[in-house]
Amino acid sequence: MDAETAASFRDSAARALSDPQLRANFQRAMDGLMTKRLAQFPDPGDLRDLRHLSTTIRSRSLLRLPELLEQLEVNCTKNGIQVHWAESCEQANELILGILQSKGAKTLVKGKSMVSEEMHLNAFLEGHGIEALESDLGEYIIQLDGETPSHIIMPALHKNKEQIARQFSQKIKDAKYTEDVDELTALARKVLRQKFLEADAGLSGVNFAVAETGTLCLVENEGNGRMSTHVPPLHIAVMGLEKVVPRLEDVAPLYAILTRSATGQAVSTYLNLISGPRGEGEMDGPQEVHLVILDNGRSRIHADPQLRATLRCIRCGACMNHCPVYTRVGGHAYEAVYPGPIGQILTPQMEGVGARHDLIHASSLCGACAEVCPVEIPIPAILIRLRREATHEDVASKVTGKGTGRTVSEDWAWRLWAAVLKRPAVYRLATWFATRFGKALPASAPLIRNWTQSRTKPVPARRSLSERMRAEGDTHV
């Protein structure tokens, strides 16, 4: 990577690495999550079979995506759920604003939804005078500080309880300072229950949508998702268009592998299956349920047989928890809605490979992410593909920003490299110089600096291998 394209990641990663508090917070959390996940899969054979089944279900769903989405729409509509389609985040935001305004809604409580983060919905609604309050405890904590999630499952992972204690005592009315986790939780409970009670509308994401029954499945532990979807008179659900599966039976293995991979739980506290608004004779539940299906670049990803695997993701976060880069720099360093390995392949495909060139290179390609992914997404292979896309303008490719990651300096570096390697005499000359004078080259020299800023400068051997072989009488070199 070169200075022209070294966008955000390198700088923000360097900042994160020099923050001992942040590193300690992540280290503790990630170690715990990896251990807990492993404990949930005692039998490697069962894990292999469950992964294979989950992968097959997700792959097949994607192969039948248009027909499943139509079936979902038909069955949701039959159940009384109003279905809307949005090509872009702007469209989805406008749609939601329209629904809220038509009901005169001024306050919205939100269950956790990464798609709504993708849409930057909260800021949009606030710009239109509608309060959008996060109710997942982690999301609530970061919203108080105007931050974004640093992990897709545990959004406030970067904060420790002292930081949260300070924040609560300053920002929650009449709250006294406490570092006791139960007391902090009780404080949030008190504030948020009042909000659930008063909210005009609730918003949630969707973990799985079932085409055959017209059902939205929500997975959670806290109960805020149920509060957001059952208490207010209006419920709006947003989902990426890839979330649909054919049957409820298909949800069973996906749910089993999701909670185990995400937090090392065999089961979540709640699995909430919503198949309609308040029915005939019901005393509660929302009067209206709306489903917004968002594209935002997903149909383009879907068109490519290799990149389509990106859409199998069930958002468990296991790839982050196991990534040697993520666990050290944390989620904010990626400066993207979806951090970590999955974000590194998803974000460049949504925003353009040139624009997020930094992300596709922020990986050692160690393969830990692919090894733990419950739906076997070949993240390293896709990263390599995207690295190529970033510098080549393949006509057939639909990747946005293809070829725009190419830079003059990197281009010349590779040309020079090729020119040297193609000419034995030049190559010999270059290695002769490197072995004789490489030691004298300062560590702060351009290009070398990129390597030496966090590592010792390598010392070249006194004689190159071919020189030594020639000296020993080998005539083949």
Partner 1 sequence: MSDARAAILGRLRASGEPGPLPSPLPALDTAVLERCQWPPAERVARLRKGMEAVHTEFLDATPDTWPNLVRAFCDREELKNLLYGPTSEDGAVLTATWLPDGTQLMPYDRPVEAFKRELFTGVDAGFTGTVGGVAETGGLLLTPGPAEPRLLSLVPPIHIALLRTSTIQDSFWSAVQTLGWGRSLPPNALLISGPSKTADIEQTLAYGVHGPRRLIVVLVDDLA
Q: For the segment 25-64, give every residue that binds partner 1 (CB under 8 A).
A: 25, 28-29, 32-33, 46, 49-50, 52-53, 56-57, 60, 63-64
Please state the closest distance from residue 267 (CB atom) to partner 1, in A: 4
Q: Is 138 in the site for partner 1 (CB under 8 A)?
A: yes
Residue 227's alpha-carbon distances to 184, 193, 209, 375, in angstroms, are 20, 9, 19, 30
Q: Is 222 in the site for partner 1 (CB under 8 A)?
A: yes
Tell whether the torsion through CA atoms of 119, 120, 122 and 126 is positive or negative: negative
Structure tokens at 33: 């999550």
Q: Is 145 in the site for partner 1 (CB under 8 A)?
A: no
When the beta carbons of 273 and 366 are compared against partner 1, the nearer one is 273
Please state the closest distance from residue 302 (CB atom) to partner 1, in A: 6
Please state the closest distance from residue 440 (CB atom) to partner 1, in A: 51
* Cβ density class 276-296: b for 16+ within 10 Å, e for less: bbbeeeeeebbebbbbbbbbb
Q: Per-residue contact track with partner 1, 410 to 449, x per CB under 8 A? A: ----------------------------------------
Q: Is 279 in the site for partner 1 (CB under 8 A)?
A: yes
Residue 349, strand partner residues: none
> In angstroms, rounded to a whole number, what is the distance separating the alpha carbons of residues 136 and 110?
8
Assess contact for 277 and 333: CB atoms under 8 A. Answer: no
When the beta carbons of 155 and 380 are compared against partner 1, the nearer one is 155
When the beta carbons of 32 and 127 are compared against partner 1, the nearer one is 32
Q: Is 396 in the site for partner 1 (CB under 8 A)?
A: no
Residue 186's alpha-carbon distances to 176, 193, 220, 226, 386, in angstroms, are 12, 10, 18, 18, 46
Please state the closest distance from residue 366 (CB atom) to partner 1, in A: 24
Which residues 6+ apart lie within 8 Å of 386 measured at CB?
345, 348, 349, 353, 360, 399
Please state the closest distance from residue 69 (CB atom) to partner 1, in A: 7
Q: Is 278 in the site for partner 1 (CB under 8 A)?
A: yes
Q: Taking CB under 8 A as the criterion, which residues in 94-113 touch partner 1?
A: 95
Q: Taking CB under 8 A as the criterion, which residues in 154-183 touch partner 1?
A: 154-156, 159-161, 164, 181-182
Please state the closest distance from residue 459 (CB atom) to partner 1, in A: 44
Q: Taking CB under 8 A as the criterion, which residues in 355-384 touch partner 1?
A: none
Which residues 6+ apart lie within 8 Å of 470 measured at CB?
477
Q: Which of 381, 386, 384 is nearest to 400 (CA)?
A: 386
Among 273, 413, 419, 421, binds partner 1 (CB under 8 A): 273
Q: Taking CB under 8 A as the criterion, which residues in 287-326 touch partner 1?
A: 293, 295, 299-300, 302-305, 308
Q: What SS3 class is residue 471? A: helix
Which residues 6+ apart lie within 8 Å of 120 measured at CB?
89, 93
Find the distance separating the first CA and the last CA of the chain, reported in whole Å: 33
When the beta carbons of 214 and 405 are compared against partner 1, the nearer one is 214
Stated as kind and residue range, the H or E segment containing 83 is strand 81-86
Please state the closest distance from residue 9 (CB atom) to partner 1, in A: 26
Assess contact for 203 and 109: CB atoms under 8 A. Answer: yes
Q: Taking CB under 8 A as the criterion, which residues in 231-250 touch partner 1?
A: 231, 233, 241, 247-249
Q: Work out the burial of residue 363: count CB atoms within 10 Å of its CB; fewer than 13 is exposed, 13-18 middle, 19 or more buried.
A: buried
Q: Taking CB under 8 A as the criterion, which residues in 189-208 touch partner 1?
A: 189, 192-193, 196-197
Q: Is 20 in the site for partner 1 (CB under 8 A)?
A: no
When the beta carbons of 262 and 325 are compared against partner 1, the nearer one is 262
When the beta carbons of 186 and 426 are compared against partner 1, the nearer one is 186
Among 146, 283, 425, 455, binds partner 1 (CB under 8 A): 283
**DSSP string covering 179-216:** --HHHHHHHHHHHHHHHHHH-SEEEE--SEEETTTTEE
Q: Is 277 in the site for partner 1 (CB under 8 A)?
A: yes
Q: How distant is the alpha carbon of residue 345 from its chain centre?
A: 9
Please state the closest distance from residue 108 (CB atom) to partner 1, in A: 16
Q: Is 23 in the site for partner 1 (CB under 8 A)?
A: no
Among 39, 123, 267, 419, binds partner 1 (CB under 8 A): 267
Please state the closest distance from residue 63 (CB atom) to partner 1, in A: 5
Q: Taking CB under 8 A as the criterion, which residues in 60-89 touch partner 1?
A: 60, 63-66, 69-70, 79-80, 84-87
